[in-house]
Amino acid sequence: MVSRLVLLFFFLSLFFSNILANENKIIVKIDNQIITSYELKNKILTNIILLNEELNQNNINKNKKLALDSLINSRIKRKEFEKYNIDINKTNILSQLLAVSENNINALKKKFEVNNLSYEMFEEDIKIEVTWKQFIFQMYNNKVKINEKEIDKQIDKIKKNRLDIEEFRISEILISFNDETDKKNKISFINKKINENGFDDTALRYSESSSAYEKGDLGWLNAASLSDQISKIISSLNVGDISPPIENMNDVLFLKLIDKRSSKAQNINYDTLRENLINKKKNELFNLYSGSYLSKLRNNSLIEYK
């Protein structure tokens, strides 16, 4: 433990040599909000420590842009949803903290304490992300319209032809990007994290989809609930394979095939099938609205790097 703390101090002195003397130095202004060098340092080291990465200059450098973008987005999200009367769901916040801590929040707090990091800042990040998802749901719930007649046509076709249904158990990682450079960097970063820490852990830490709470696990989905593009990609994978990045407007999707099976037509619960189809379409729309709304807010914000 002593050697780890010595190493921590060594790299901090390298990367934050101009910061340690003044931990409240402002490095970014977003309209009337600020981000300090201390907050950036805490965010970078939190990412590295929680993912059990080696603490070295290379990992610090690679985490810097992602950490700063995350802090900027958090400021923008919080400023926006604070304009509205959001009844924050503390149960969802607790669920996320339990997921991240593997059901041991006290051990997670101890990890922050040992590494001299701010657990309070980490918890605030979790609150912002959970509340933002809740905010997007309230904003767009009445606008999310699913063509249920089309859903029913799909189900009727399956019933009529008594087709067996191929089902896939899939996990996802969803990330948004601002421009081509940001997209390239984030795809590279996510691929690196998957290789180093596995798909589940990367989904939990970095995915912007609500499925991040479940480590990206979407459960069992039938082929009929997937778009033609996704169905074709998933069908080409072997169990355990991860898809190449799938681009869709301002976000990128990574998929992992956990398992697959075929269900006989006579064993299909069509009510459950219909509900799953509707929920899948809704989640796709909410993710689209979230990315688009944040992108608009970011473009309309005055972001000054100091």
How far is residue 22's CA from residue 159's CA, in Å, rounded to a whole number? 68
The amino acid at residue 88 is I
Contact 126, 78 (CB under 8 A): no
- pTM > 0.85: yes or no: no
Please report the pLDDT score of residue 5 as a whole number: 47
Please report the pLDDT score of residue 23 as a whole number: 56
Which single residue is written with the structure tokens 């799938």?
246
Fold exhibited by the domain 148-299: Chitinase A; domain 3 (3.10.50)
- Segments of the chain assigned to CATH 1.10.4030: 2-140
Which single residue is written with the structure tokens 């009727």?
156
How far is residue 5's CA from residue 130's CA, in Å, rounded to a whole number? 32
Fold exhibited by the domain 2-140: Triger factor/SurA peptide-binding fold (1.10.4030)
Please report the pLDDT score of residue 267 as a whole number: 66
What string of pLDDT tens digits covers the 306 residues of the chain? Answer: 444 444 454 455 444 444 444 457 999 999 989 999 999 999 999 988 887 777 888 888 878 888 898 899 999 999 999 999 888 888 888 888 888 888 899 999 999 999 999 999 999 999 998 899 889 988 898 888 888 888 888 778 777 766 667 889 999 998 888 788 888 989 999 999 999 889 988 888 888 876 776 788 888 887 767 777 888 899 899 999 999 999 877 789 999 999 998 866 666 777 877 887 788 778 778 877 888 888 889 889 999 988
Number of H helices, E strands in the chain: 11, 7
Q: What is the pLDDT of residues 126-179, one digit of tens each?
A: 999 889 988 998 889 888 888 888 888 877 877 776 666 788 999 999 888 878
Please report the pLDDT score of residue 190 as a whole number: 93
